[in-house]
A = this chain, B = another copy of it.
């Protein structure tokens, strides 16, 4: 079934024979050129270049005990936010000769653990998990570091997180500062969702403002529509002047629903989303949103991994999660004037 190698691919032995040196010298000429006579080194390198020889990493990995592979478990690489994180991870891993091995979890604990096993079987040297459901229940080999981005569990070591609570406060305060008082929130699931909701309530309470309604959804466009519809039914067309949604996609759905109900954005109802997805600025009006610094978080996770990978990680250093601060990006959906893309 599987194809078998028919002819020997160029090996160190082959080029050893070509140049009349030992197989060890070939290895040295390539890895530690300074420990080899310039003359023979050149001969070896020339021969290597001639037949296009590249050391078989399988052999090398076996002896040095590392694969230079980093596992990357993502809910779904097709989601832009995760794609962004993956890209920035890659950018910090690549210069060190490390490559990411991809796996998807679909936000499912079983699949996530499966994926982890599969990666371990490929002998990855470390791993990064985005939105882990399994948290510290992930299988781990000896001295095998996992780094998390936004894990479900709180206070994990070796984790990079967004301060979702601060994000919720950001949204609430922006409404308050722009004179909105009839406010509602459509929350999302998971810890992120809960924390965003918490921050939102917290800031409103501090200002002595009671939200007029609350709902929740699964971050999808229809969920945004349905929740918005439900809120409007409850409070009436005049009962709402500020709507905060835990994700940009839900916000897009909400904007459509509001418009179909005959409400103007932002004149009648201002809308705030979360994430700052690529399309947020393309919506009409452009969506004000709480920005999640996806690239920075990805890069930070990769660096954290490198730390525990190359050095002995000072346990103290990653005892608590690295926290990123969200940022409010103000666009047309909350301020008719400011329409910065």
Which of A65-73, A194-202, A205-213 binds B? Answer: A65-73
Alpha-carbon gap, A54 to B37, bound state (A): 43
Candidates B5, B142, B277; contact of A65 at CB < 8 Å = B5
Segment 95-150 of A: residues with Cβ below 8 Å from B: 97, 99-104, 117-123, 141-143
Closest Cβ of chain B to A32, distance in Å, is 15
Q: Does A189 contact B (CB under 8 A)?
A: no
Cα A101 to Cα B70 with chains together (Å): 9
Which residue in B65, B68, B84, B122 is a CB contact (below 8 Å) of A57?
A: B122
> Complex formed: what's the CA distance from A5 to B311 in Å?
13
A-B contact pairs, 8 of them (CB 8 A): A6-B143, A69-B122, A79-B83, A80-B278, A252-B282, A259-B284, A277-B279, A279-B279
Q: Which residues of B contact A82 (CB under 8 A)?
A: 83
In the assembly, how many copies of this chain are there?
2
Show the binding face of A for B, using Cβ within 8 Å: 1-7, 9, 54, 56-59, 61-62, 65-69, 72, 76-80, 82-84, 86-87, 90-91, 94, 97, 99-104, 117-123, 141-143, 221, 249, 252-253, 255-256, 259, 277-279, 281-284, 309-312, 341
Are A221 and B122 neighbours in the complex by a CB distance under 8 Å? no
- List residues of chain B with CB within 8 A of the CB of A6: 143
Docked pose: A122 CA to B123 CA in angstroms: 12
Known: A122-B69, A123-B57. A86 touches B102 (CB 8 A): yes
Chain B residues with CB below 8 A from A282, complex form = 221, 249, 252-253, 256, 279, 283
Query: Could you say which residues of chain B place their CB within 8 Å of the CB of A119?
Result: 99
Q: Once the chains are docked, how many angstroms separate the CA of A277 from the CA of B83?
A: 14
Q: Are A87 and B80 in contact (CB under 8 A)?
A: no
Cβ-neighbour of A87 out of B76, B142, B278 (below 8 A): B76
Q: Given A80-B78, A83-B77: A143 and B99 within 8 A (CB)? A: no
Contact of A121 among B54, B79, B277 (CB under 8 A): B54
Taking the nearest CB of chain B, how far is it from the CB of A338, in angstroms?
A: 15
Q: How far is the CA of A57 from the CA of B9 in the complex (A)?
A: 20
